[in-house]
């Protein structure tokens, strides 16, 4: 389904673009939304401001650039009330999901992963969907990729959520990413 990766994908926590990404997020959102992007440990999490920390935190795993974009995408679609709750008030079903749980997981992941895909391209990197179930039911990766792609095309035609659009533009400026449109997507990610 996807072509060979032409760009080296950076996954280690020594990625030199992580610090600039964190700074870009803070520059874009700290003043208006009192929210910072924070390098974390094993598990990503969203933490609203509290008595100990006066700002909201989008915490991504291990300093991975891709984890940061994924968590930012979730933040970009969370409503104002959800952003007052730890992990937006959602319960996360961890790795090891059965087939039904995996379908439910993928259903709620379509929109954030479509936004993550656009952000990844804007950051001049290569995207790959995450089915996040290494020790559970075998996911249908191609079907999930098609659903995420369809949502990305929908966003391209109807517009991204406002915070997502703002950050996609900031990423493109910072990392010299290409202008994303359907023609570019069809060329670089043919079905």
Has residue 4 been placed in a domain?
A: no
Has residue 43 been placed in a domain?
A: yes
Contact (CB, 8 A) for 80 and 115: no
pLDDT on residue 143? 86
Q: Determine the Cα angle at 70 with ends 64 and 73, to 5°.
A: 140
Beta strand 45-47 pairing with 35-39: unpaired
**pLDDT tens figures, 63-120:** 999 999 999 999 999 999 999 999 998 866 666 667 777 677 778 889 999 999 999 9
Residue 107 lies in domain: 99-188
pTM: 0.87
Higher pLDDT, 105 or 179: 179
Query: Among 89, 120, 141, where does a domain finish?
Result: 89
**Total structural domains within the chain:** 2
Judge whether residue 11 has pLDDT over 80.
Answer: no
Q: Alpha carbon of 141 to those of 65, 132, 187: distances in Å?
A: 21, 10, 20
Q: Which of 77, 41, 75 is nearest to 55 (CA)?
A: 75
Least confident of 1-5, 60-64, 175-179: 1-5
Has residue 2 been placed in a domain?
A: no
pLDDT on residue 142? 87
């Amino acid at each position: 389904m996807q072509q060979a990766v032409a760009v080296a994908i950076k996954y280690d926590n020594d990625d030199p673009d992580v610090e600039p990404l964190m700074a870009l997020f803070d520059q874009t959102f700290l003043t208006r939304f009192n929210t910072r992007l924070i390098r974390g440990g094993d598990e990503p999490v969203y933490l609203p401001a509290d008595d100990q920390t006066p700002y909201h935190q989008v915490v991504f795993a291990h300093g991975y650039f891709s984890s940061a974009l994924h968590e930012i995408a979730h933040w970009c679609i969370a409503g104002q009330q959800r952003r007052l709750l730890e992990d937006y008030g959602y319960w996360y079903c961890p790795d090891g999901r059965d087939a039904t749980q995996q379908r439910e997981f993928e259903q709620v992941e379509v929109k954030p992963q479509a936004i993550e895909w656009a952000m990844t391209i804007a950051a001049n990197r290569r995207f790959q969907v995450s089915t996040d179930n290494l020790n559970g039911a075998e996911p249908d990766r191609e079907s999930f990729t098609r659903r995420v792609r369809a949502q990305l095309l929908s966003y391209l035609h109807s517009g991204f959520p406002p915070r997502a659009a703002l950050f996609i533009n900031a990423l493109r400026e910072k990392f010299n990413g290409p202008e994303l449109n359907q023609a570019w997507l069809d060329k670089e990610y043919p079905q």
